[in-house]
Amino acid sequence: MKSQTQANPASLRPEQTNQGLPRPAETESLEQLVEQAAEAAPLPAEALPEDLADVRSSGFSLRDKFLNFKSLASFGIAFAILGLAFWRADINLAEMWQQILQTNLWLYSAGFIVFYGLFPIRAWRWRIILRSAGFEVDSPQSRKNWSGIAALSEFIGLSWFANCVVPAKLGDAYRGYLVKKNGNASFSRTLGTIFAERIVDMIVLFGMLVVSGLLVFQGHLNSWTEKLFIIGIVFTILLVIGLMSMRYLSPLIRRALPQRFHDFYARFEEGTLSSFRPSRLPILLILTIIVWLGESMRLFFVIEAMGGLGLSLSAIIFVALASSLLTAVPALPGGLGLVEVGIAGVMMLFSVGQTTSTAVAFLDRIINYWSIVILGLVLYLFSKRK
C-alpha cells in the first residue's frame, strides 16, 4: 500500500470518500473517530470489539472510563493484591515509615529527573518510527501541530496518564487518537507505529533482563526467577508471532476478518511493518537501550537515596527491568499492585528485608505511577492538544 501522511483526509480512508464525513481535523472526540471508521457499514455496538464499542458509545472520556465497572473492578483487584501482600508479609509499618523519612531527598529527586528526562528520548524514538512509517513529521506545520519532540512528549505523557487510570492499555489508543486529531493522520496506521514501538521495547527489555539475570545469578536461577523469565518469553514470543503473522500471513488474516474491518487492519498492518526500516533499526535499538537503562537508573537513585542496601548495579537493573515487565499486564491500570509486589519480591531475592523492600517499592511507585497520575491529570486538564 502506498504510504500516506498529511494527505487529503479522504485518501487516508478511501471507504469514506462519498460519505459526507467531516474532515479529521474537525473531529472532536474519539467517539466520532470510531463512528467515522464504521460509517460505510454501520453496525451495532455489540458487534464491535468491547473496548471499541465503549469508545463508540461514550467517546474517550477518561472520567467515564475511570468510573465504569471494568476500571473500578481493576482498581479493586489491584488494591486487593496490595492488601493481601501486606497481610501475608512481615512488614513493620512504623519501621518502613522511618526508613522513608530518612530518604536522601537530593538523590531521590535525581530519580524524578531521570524518569521525566526519558520522555523526550521516547518522543524522539517514536518520531523516528513515524518517519519510517511514512508520516510527514519534518514540515514546519507538522512540527508545530504535532510532530515536534515537545508535542510527542505531551502525547506520551497523556497516554501514560490514561494507562494509569484505566485498564486494557487504552492509553495507547488515546495516543493514536491524539495524532489523528492534531496531525490529520490515519488513526489505524498510527496504532501500527505504537505497536511497533511496543515490539522493540519488549525485545530489548527481555534481552537486557536475561543478560542482567545471568550476570547476577551466574546461571543459577531459582524457581521465582524462572517464572519471571517465562512471562518475558511468552510476551516476546506473542509479539514476534504477531509481527511475523502480519508479514507472512496477511491474506489469511484479512480473509478471517469481517469485510468492514479490512481497511482498518490494512492501515494498521502498514503502519506496523513499515516502522521497521533496516537503516533505522540501529538507532531505534540504541535509544531503546538508553530508555531501559534510564528506567534502571531511576531505581538506582531511589535505592541510593535509602543508603544503597548493598545491591550491585546489575542487581538493580534486574529489579527495575523485572518490575517493568509486569506493567505489560493489561488487566491492571499501570500494573498497580503487581509492580509493587514484584519490586519487593525481586529485591528479597538479594537478601533485602521485606520492610525495606516494601519501602523501596513505595518510593519508586511514587515516581513512576502516582506522579504520573497527578501531573498527568494537570496536563490533561490544561492541554490544548487533548
- Rounded to whole angstroms, how far apart are CA atoms 360 and 351? 14
Average pLDDT, the chain: 80
Nearest-angstrom CA–CA distance, 193 and 207: 21
Residue from 166, 186, 171, 178 nearest 29 by CA: 178
Task: List % helix, strand, coil for the chain (3-state, nearest 5).
Answer: 75, 0, 25
Which of 15-19, 170-174, 201-205 has the least mean pLDDT? 15-19
pLDDT band at 246 (very low <50, low <70, confident <90, very high): confident
Q: What percent of the chain has pLDDT over 90?
A: 35
| Mean pLDDT of the 282-290 span | 96
Q: Answer yes or no: are the C-beta atoms of 289 and 321 closer than 8 Å.
A: no
Q: How many CB atoms lie within 10 A of CB 281?
A: 14
CA-to-CA distance for 60 and 29, rounded, in angstroms?
7
Q: What is the pTM of this model?
A: 0.80
CA-to-CA dists, residue 31 to 51, 84, 164, angstroms: 11, 38, 21
Q: Say how far apart CA 195 and CA 27 lie, in whole Å.
A: 23
> Which segment of 44-53, 54-63, 195-204 scores lowest on mean pLDDT?
44-53
| Span 71-98, pLDDT tens digits | 677 778 777 878 887 777 778 888 999 9
Q: Where are the alpha helices (DSSP H) in 50-92?
A: 50-58, 62-67, 69-88
Indicate the SS3 state at residue 27.
coil
Task: Report the candidate in 261, 245, 244, 4 with the shortest Cα–Cα distance to residue 133.
Answer: 4
Residue 367 has pLDDT above 70, yes or no: yes
Q: Cβ(343)–Cβ(323) under 8 Å? A: yes
Show me where the domains of the chain are located: 48-382
pLDDT at 8 over 50: no
User: 61 pLDDT exceeds 70?
Assistant: no
Q: Which pLDDT band holds residue 328 (cuts at 50, 70, 90)?
A: confident
Does 17 have pLDDT greater than 70? no
Whether the pLDDT of residue 62 is over 70: the answer is no
Average pLDDT of the segment spanning 103-121: 96
Task: Say how far apart CA 220 and CA 215 lie, in whole Å.
Answer: 10
- Residue closest to 235 by CA, chosen among 172, 301, 371, 326: 326
Measured CA to CA, the distance from residue 131 to residue 152 in angstroms comes to 13
State the pLDDT at residue 224. Answer: 67
Nearest to 309 by CA among 145, 134, 104: 104
In terms of pLDDT, which residue wins out, 210 or 299? 299
Flag whether pLDDT at 305 surpasses 60: yes
pLDDT tens-digit map of 182-228: 988 889 999 999 999 999 998 899 889 888 888 887 766 666 677 77
CA distances from 114 to 119, 163, 225 (A): 9, 21, 27
Q: Which of the given ranges, 31-45, 141-155, 328-342, has the highest pLDDT on average?
A: 141-155
Taking alpha carbons only, the member of 151, 184, 260, 135 closest to residue 27 is: 184
